Structure 1
Amino acid sequence: MSHSGDRFTDIELENKRLPACCGYITWKLLSLEDAMKELQDFLMEINRFVKLAKKYCTYPNDHDLTKDESTAIYIYTMEMSDDSCVYRILNQTLRAEDRSKVRPWFGYLKLLDSATSKLPKFKGTIWRGIDKDVTMKFKKGQQITWWSISSCSTSVNVISSFLHKSSSSTLFHIECLNGKSISSYTCYPKENEVILMPGTVFEVVSNPLNHHGGLNIIHLKEISDEEEEEEPPRPPNPNSYQPNHSTISTATISNNPITRNQVSIQSQIERITI
């Protein structure tokens, strides 16, 4: 199976506002085969790839993922032709302004959501890249949203290997707060892959660094719901009720509060844009 590295280099450059995708929160968790039935019309040979993914996925595993959940992650990382590639077509759809196009993917996203919710959060430095100079699109203090699932790596060497040496390229140095490490479940475990959920918001930490020789670096910091809610501490009022600290984030779906730790894709799929 050839590997193009497109998952790591397909960067969303248009910082646009998108409406919520309604209906996802009530969507039932299906088997992988049933979830993929909705996608057969525009994912060629998907049934064959599902069988392959089930054969090679990590099961049993250390995080109690079901076989369907583990397969959902594995098939996301598989390289296929353009008319069959799950990650390529899914991410194009997640970026579409017509949000109804996301609906056929709800079953698969629900499985992927269930799988990643069982994985621990990854907090640290991750990398992503693109084979062009995009520094003019990023300014210090700017907030940007990536609407697709973003594949990153903890290894800058992995990302560099997918960039053409002869062209002007850009590396994204990302301070990650809510990533999910899928290296134990991917088709390519040596790539140290960490994924960021749809709708992840970043702040540009500094103006891009332009290196001689064509390599540029953009420094991003993930903005979490918890950060947005932080307020300066106030002295306690003995006459007022003091509730216990809540982990509920501002990402609410249909007025149902959820924590980012409990739900990942779900909290982003139906969020109202910032």
Structure 2
Amino acid sequence: MGCCGSKNKVVPPAKSNAYSTITPATARDDKPTANNPPPPPQQDNSAMQRFNKVALSTTNPLPLVSGYGDEPVGTLEEALQPVDGRIDNAAHYIQDAKAKCHFPSEHGLTRDESAAIYIYSKKWNNRYVSDQLQQAFSTQNRSQLQPWYKYLRLLKSGLDKLPATTTGIWQGMPFDDRLNEKLSSNSTVLYTCLGSCAPTDGELKSYLQKNYGPKTMLLSYESVNGKAITNYTASKSPEIMIWPGIKMGVSKYAVVDSNGSVVAHLLKKNDPPKQVTIKKPPSEKHFVCPTNCCGNRCRGNHKPEHCYGFSNLQN
């Protein structure tokens, strides 16, 4: 699902549990002027377009891909073969990814693992592999995601070798009433979806305000073990990927300007440990001699200090 509208107004998308495919209206293609400056040069627009696809869902997306980890780590050709029909000229883009990906890798990625990250970020015919994956997740249908299992396995194998971020990472979008309602509620539980984040919020905010107006939403993800894929993407811009299924809660929410723009900080929530009941072993039962003067000191074919002339049972 997406947003559509004029340059100055964004119409909220239809209701859904999944926010992973909430995207703003198509960016303006106005020529730069004094009042409409070009975007900052540090980030290219293809990366920014990935950063404004908010990777949140009110339902855990991991069950949709349960079992992908059992797939073997193969080549990029093998990984994308099940979805070949969904990607125009897939063979060409696979070859291009393998030629242009970051390899050799100082992090130990194979060429196919590096190419899997590169092709995730590659744009062709105005689309990304990441777009198609997000659309598959948004269906909430395992059958739509099963053809992607081999690719997800290869992608995750590469991501696991990359360094994790230790600070907050950012996504943003034009203001959306539905998402704002979820973020401002202390009781809402959210889960991460597969997505890309910026390391800082400044350039992302400028990009959103330039292309979609002054009222924005910026989200910071903290403690999500995001993987830095800088230099591995087609854009080569600073970028961090987050994996689906991390449980999040809003730790801080604030309206930050007169336009009603919102900044929300999301923190990983750990489920309380399960209570484990430890069963005590049954107590040993001893037979006691009925003769008071014995004091359980009579002997026989039994353990030492256990009375032989027993008749009464006690714990």
TM range (shorter): 0.7 to 0.9
Structure 1 residues 169, 194: closer, same or farther in 2, change over 3 A? same
| 2:248 matches 1:202 | yes
Q: Using the TM superposition, give the Cα deviation of residue 97 of structure 1 relative to its aligned residue in structure 2, in angstroms.
A: 1.4
Partner SS for 2:175:
coil
Output the TM-score relative to the length of structure 2: 0.65
Q: Using the TM superposition, give the Cα deviation of residue 154 of structure 1 relative to its aligned residue in structure 2, in angstroms.
A: 1.0
Q: Which residue of 2 aligns with 1:236?
A: none
Deviations 1:203-222 (A, max 9, x none): 11133424213422111112
**1:15-26 mapped onto 2 (5 Å cutoff):** 15-18=58-61, 19-26=63-70
Q: Is the 8 A contact 2:56 2:191 kept in 1?
A: no
Deviations 1:154-210 (A, max 9, x none): 1212322431432421001222341111113112223x2111101122111133424
**1:1-274 mapped onto 2 (5 Å cutoff):** 3=46, 5-12=48-55, 15-18=58-61, 19-82=63-126, 84-133=127-176, 134-138=179-183, 139-146=185-192, 148-165=193-210, 166-190=213-237, 192-223=238-269, 227-228=270-271
Highest CA radius of gyration, 1 or 2? Answer: 2
Q: Which residue of 1 aligns with 2:28?
A: none
Structure 1 residues 32, 210: closer, same or farther in 2, change over 3 A? same
Report sequence identity in percent.
Answer: 28
Which shifted more, 1-10 or 115-124? 1-10
Q: What is the rounded CA distance, in whole Å, between the counterparts of 2:249 and 2:215 in structure 1?
A: 23
Q: Is the 8 A contact 2:65 2:149 kept in 1?
A: no
Partner SS for 1:38:
helix
Q: What letter matches 2:197 in structure 1? A: C
Deviations 1:53-79 (A, max 9, x none): 112111001111000000111111112
Q: What is the rounded CA distance, in whole Å, between the counterparts of 2:97 and 2:206 in structure 1?
A: 25
The runs of 5 or more residues in structure 2 that have no matched partner are: 1-43, 275-315
Q: What letter matches 1:219 in structure 2? A: H
Q: What is the rounded CA distance, in whole Å, between the counterparts of 1:50 and 1:215 in structure 2?
A: 40
Q: Which residue of 2 aligns with 1:257?
A: none
Q: What is the rounded CA distance, in whole Å, between the counterparts of 1:221 and 1:185 in structure 2?
A: 27
Larger relative contact order (C-alpha < 8 A, sep ≥ 6)?
1
Which shifted more, 202-211 or 48-57? 202-211
How many matched pairs? 228
Q: What is the rounded CA distance, in whole Å, between the counterparts of 1:66 and 1:42 in structure 2?
A: 25
Output the TM-score relative to the length of structure 1: 0.74
Q: Is the 8 A contact 1:50 1:75 kept in 2?
A: yes
Q: What is the rounded CA distance, in whole Å, between the counterparts of 1:7 and 1:51 in structure 2?
A: 23
Deviations 1:82-116 (A, max 9, x none): 5x520000111123211111111111111101101
RMSD, matched Cα:
2.6
Q: What letter matches 1:149 in structure 2? A: L
Q: What letter matches 1:11 in structure 2? A: V
Q: What is the rounded CA distance, in whole Å, between the counterparts of 2:65 and 2:45 in structure 1?
A: 34
Q: Is the 8 A contact 2:47 2:235 kept in 1?
A: no
Partner SS for 2:69:
coil
Q: Is the 8 A contact 2:214 2:259 kept in 1?
A: no
The runs of 5 or more residues in structure 1 that have no matched partner are: 232-274
Q: Which residue of 2 aligns with 1:251?
A: none
Q: What letter matches 2:216 in structure 1? A: S
Q: What letter matches 1:171 in structure 2? A: L
Q: What is the rounded CA distance, in whole Å, between the counterparts of 1:62 and 1:129 in structure 2?
A: 31
